[in-house]
Amino acid sequence: MEQIIINGGKKLKGSVCISGAKNAALAIIPATILAEGVSTIENLPNINDIKHLVIILESLGAKCSFLNETTLKIDATNIKKYRAEGDSVRKIRASYYLLGALLSRFKAAEVEMPGGCDFGGRPTDQHEKGFKLLGATTTMSHGLIKTEALNGLQGSNILLDVVSVGATINVMLAAVLAEGSTTIENCAREPHVVDTANLLNMMGADIKGAGTNVIRINGVKKLKGVNYTIIPDQIEAGTYMIAAAITGGDITVKNIIPQHMDPLTAKLVEMGCEVFEGDDYIRVRGSENLTAANVRTLAYPGFPTDLQPQITALMATTDGIGVITESVWDNRFQYVSELNRLGANITVDGRIAVTKGPSHLTGAKVTAIDLRAGAALVLAALNAEGMTVIDKAVQVGRGYENIEQKLKGLGADITVI
């Protein structure tokens, strides 16, 4: 994907089916390495980050084959290498899960520094702290993170200093095959943490408390390969819910877990949308008279930082002053200048953005600086009068399966080049 071209101003209507969760899949695929066997993972999103991960697993010696676009069979029996390197490792953030997974299986791991979106610093000190308390030493040299447990991994009590999705999952991966019991306190509670724990438990692990802020793990000797289905993507679902709001449309977002959407649902209702919830769908009806609100991002169950750029785009088109506070990342408002190019009136001071609306957005040439920033531009372009050309659309393809077809199905005038 190089460019996305959108002729905006159409009210989107109809229904859209949500794909499997990117951030669950990116943890679950590395987790399959823990079993010397075959696992089949279903409901994977068909996106670039998954393809990179498959390339990495194959480079380690796993045999991977797609049974269809969303089902991947992974035979991890013959993995012998514990060094992950190369372009794909450097391109995605989730390659850090290879540290926990390989450390668990081989008691040693070497992984090139991961990539991913640039939100200022993305430290891994909490991952390393967890590994250290389990008995591993981590060093960094020549762009390679090395971690090894010469005397094996032993269970421990780990209190994370910050709530981190990556550290929670990585420490969980390392602890499931450690000797004895581990407690992880101040854990992340995101749905993908729970999904990863569910997979590991199905593989034979003994993990309790995932989804709360204390996870207890009793180490086991061995795990087995399994068939597992990934949960729906909370952030993709939220992006289409906001698409209904920003175009004044009426969209039913299907194949989701509505409870995962609560913080967004509450905000859309507060802004004036009508929202109807079913067992596995949410219908959002926008309106031309939405009002701005205040949003603060927080770890789950707070408002997700990965929907912050999208709700900021919406807020710019609504009446009044909206204050968006980013509590998770140091520098996640870099995309605001691109929204302003489309006519938004947004000012940023550190971790706070203020929207003054309603702004009449008009099409222009803009650049997707990262994945969710790209999603925010797509949403703004759907609202904007005239044509918007979004460069670096590859960023959007990292996280949104078939965005062209899905938006066309809702009536958008969109072309992906």
Instruction: Give 81 or 93: the residue with its C-beta nearer to ligand EPU.
Output: 93
Helices (H), 183-307: 191-203, 234-246, 262-271
What's the distance, Cα to Cα, between the start and end of the chain in Å? 6
Q: Is 207:220 a contact under the CB 8 Å cutoff?
A: no
Q: Rule CB under 6 A: say whether 123 interacts with ligand EPU.
A: yes
Q: Which span (51-59, 159-167, 271-279, 315-323) binds ligand EPU, by CB under 6 A?
A: 159-167
Instruction: Give 29 or 344: the residue with its C-beta nearer to ligand EPU.
Output: 29
Instruction: Out of 94, 226, 273, 403, point to the residue binding ligand EPU (CB under 6 A).
Output: 94
Q: Which of 64, 117, 187, 273 is catalytic?
A: 117
- The string of DSSP letters for 360-399 reads --B--EEE--SHHHHHHHHHHHHHSBSEEEEE-THHHHTT
Residues 332-391 close enough to bind ligand EPU by CB under 6 A: 371-372
Q: Rule CB under 6 A: say whether 117 interacts with ligand EPU.
A: yes
Q: Rule CB under 6 A: say whether 51 interacts with ligand EPU.
A: no
Instruction: Give 182 or 252: the residue with its C-beta nearer to ligand EPU.
Output: 182
* Shortest distance (Å) from residue 317 CB to ligand EPU: 22
Q: In this structure, are strands 144-148 and 137-141 parallel, antiparallel, or unpaired?
A: antiparallel
* Shortest distance (Å) from residue 386 CB to ligand EPU: 28
Instruction: Out of 127, 146, 267, 392, point to the residue binding ligand EPU (CB under 6 A).
Output: 127
Q: Rule CB under 6 A: say whether 138 interacts with ligand EPU.
A: no
Residues 249-288 close enough to bind ligand EPU by CB under 6 A: none
Which one, of 75, 148, 143, lies nearest residue 111 by Cα?
A: 143
| Catalytic (active site) residue 273 | no
Q: Is 260:241 a contact under the CB 8 Å cutoff?
A: no
Helix-, strand-, coil-residue percentages of the chain, each rounded to 5: 35, 30, 35
Q: Which residues pair with 124 in a beta bridge?
A: none
Chain residue at closest Cβ approach to ligand EPU = 166
Spacing of C-alpha 195 from chain mean position: 13
Q: Rule CB under 6 A: say whether 165 interacts with ligand EPU.
A: yes
Instruction: Give 240 or 329: the residue with its C-beta nearer to ligand EPU.
Output: 329
Instruction: Give 225 or 399: the residue with its C-beta nearer to ligand EPU.
Output: 399
* Shortest distance (Å) from residue 23 CB to ligand EPU: 3
Q: Rule CB under 6 A: say whether 309 interacts with ligand EPU.
A: no
In angstroms, the CA 181 to CA 71 distance is 33
Residues 6+ apart with CB under 8 A from 280: 254, 255, 256, 257, 258
Spacing of C-alpha 230 from chain mean position: 13
Lookup: tokens for 315 = 């807020």
Query: Cα dihedral sign for 68, 71, 73, 74?
Result: positive
* Shortest distance (Å) from residue 227 CB to ligand EPU: 23
Residues 177-236 close enough to bind ligand EPU by CB under 6 A: 188
By annotation, the residues acting in catalysis are: 117
- For ligand EPU, the binding residues (CB under 6 A) are 23, 26, 93-94, 117, 121-127, 162, 164-167, 188, 305-306, 328-329, 371-372, 399
